[in-house]
Amino acid sequence: MWVVAIRLRRSVRRWEYWLIGCAVGVAALLALHSLVPNHLGRLGSALETFLPWLGVAVPLLACLALIRRSVWGLLACLLPTVAWLWLFAGLWVPSGSYDLSVVQHNVADDNSDPAGTARALLATRAELVAVEELTPAARPSYEGVLSASHPYRAVHGTVGLWSAYPLSDVRAVDIRPASFPDGWQRGLRATVAAPDGEIAVYVVHLPSIRLGAGGFASAARDESAGLLGARIADEPADRLLVVGDFNGTVQDRGLDPVTSQLTAPGSGFAFSWPAALPVARIDQVLGRGVEVTEVSALDATGSDHLPVVGRVRLG
């Protein structure tokens, strides 16, 4: 056995150790991302925000292995390939039927064409339209476009919900971090009287994050997620949709208070931010007691986010 091990070591060229090490490292980050510590600059959350993009390293390493004719390098590339497929392969599988659709969009408070954005949302034919960064000046534009097909609406602060079905039990959802001013209002809850039965819908906009010299600044976002998670835990409705701009991906552990209680879409990557070159889905459509079968991103509007459409099976 020692002779075989020595021969194997001799058969691996010195530079191949670097290639194999890179492949093993990428596989480890994919499979064990939850073990990356978060206390230092929230590195774990930063990694999880862009986790699917680690897969880009696989073809790069494989090409290098092919150029250098490295069998060991190609074999090592199987490790991150399997890890990536284990995490994300299901998102490529087409979804089945659905009963309800919801379009979710951070419309941007500096959007110069709110009416055009409203028309783009209307064109999805979604029964529910949820928006964030809705300003008093832009609100009449959305009402003018959506009111005929979505006559029921709820607005609180800068978040709004337009519905083709009647709304009831509309109330504010307080997700304001303690250090934020009282005027910061970014959450609402309403009961939608869908044909297949009532469903509670939350529309939320969690605080923004910043990436700087100190790392991934997400403390306020995480505090807001904790408040939202507590409200969801107390929500008595059997069927629940939570939609909005989470300023984080479903893999980001900072959102665990919310995502641990809800299920993510079964199909679709739907990268939604930034609109010019989307690299992450921070606009979410999540459910409890319902199945979000698929989520997809739409074309750009006047916002720095892309709209996201979720298809929901009520069951």
Side chain identity at residue 31, one-letter code: A
Find the mean pLDDT for residues 44-66: 94
18-21: long-range contacts, CB 8 A cutoff, minimum separation 24: 19/61, 19/64, 19/65, 19/68, 19/70, 19/72, 19/73, 19/76, 20/72, 20/73, 20/76
**pLDDT class of 128 with cuts at 50, 70, 90:** very high
With beta carbons less than 8 A apart as the criterion, state whether 259 and 204 touch. no
Find the mean pLDDT for residues 31-36: 95
**Angle of helix 114-122 versus helix 139-146 axis, rounded to 10:** 30
pLDDT at 217: 84
What CA–CA distances, in Å, run from 311 to 90, 100, 135, 246, 262? 16, 6, 27, 18, 15
Distinct helix (H) and strand (E) counts, the chain: 9, 13
With beta carbons less than 8 A apart as the criterion, state whether 205 and 242 touch. no
By mean pLDDT, which of 4-8, 98-102, 170-174, 243-247 is the weakest? 4-8
**pLDDT class of 213 with cuts at 50, 70, 90:** low
pLDDT at 41: 83
If you average pLDDT over every residue of the chain, what do you get? 93
Q: Is the pLDDT of residue 8 over 70?
A: no
Q: Please write the tens of the pLDDT for every residue from 214-246.
A: 677 899 999 999 999 999 999 999 999 999 999
CA angle 235, 241, 242 (to 5 degrees): 85
Find the mean pLDDT for residues 86-101: 88
**pLDDT class of 11 with cuts at 50, 70, 90:** low
What CA–CA distances, in Å, run from 109 to 124, 136, 158, 304? 22, 10, 9, 10
Of the candidates 130, 78, 116, 188, the one whose C-alpha atom is nearest the C-alpha of residue 308 is: 130
Q: Is the pLDDT of residue 7 over 60?
A: no
Percent helix, strand, coil in the chain (nearest 5)?
35, 25, 40
What does the alpha-carbon distance between residue 274 and residue 277 come to, in Å, rounded to a whole number?
6
Find the mean pLDDT for residues 274-282: 97
By mean pLDDT, which of 92-96, 128-132, 169-173, 190-194 is the weakest? 92-96
What does the alpha-carbon distance between residue 298 and residue 289 come to, in Å, rounded to a whole number?
26
Q: Is the pLDDT of residue 48 over 90?
A: yes
Read off the DSSP letter of residue 262.
S
With beta carbons less than 8 A apart as the criterion, state whether 148 and 173 touch. no
Residue with tokens 């009449």: 140
**pLDDT class of 2 with cuts at 50, 70, 90:** very low
pLDDT at 4: 38
Q: Please write the tens of the pLDDT for every residue from 248-274.
A: 999 999 999 999 999 999 889 999 999
Q: Is the pLDDT of residue 169 over 90?
A: yes
Read off the DSSP letter of residue 52.
G
On the 0-12 / 13-18 / 19+ scale of CB atoms within 10 A, 71 is exposed
Q: Is the pLDDT of residue 6 over 60?
A: no
What does the alpha-carbon distance between residue 311 and residue 103 come to, in Å, rounded to a whole number?
9
Q: Is the pLDDT of residue 195 over 50?
A: yes
Which uninterrupted H or E stretch holds 19?
helix 14-31
3 state DSSP class of 91: helix
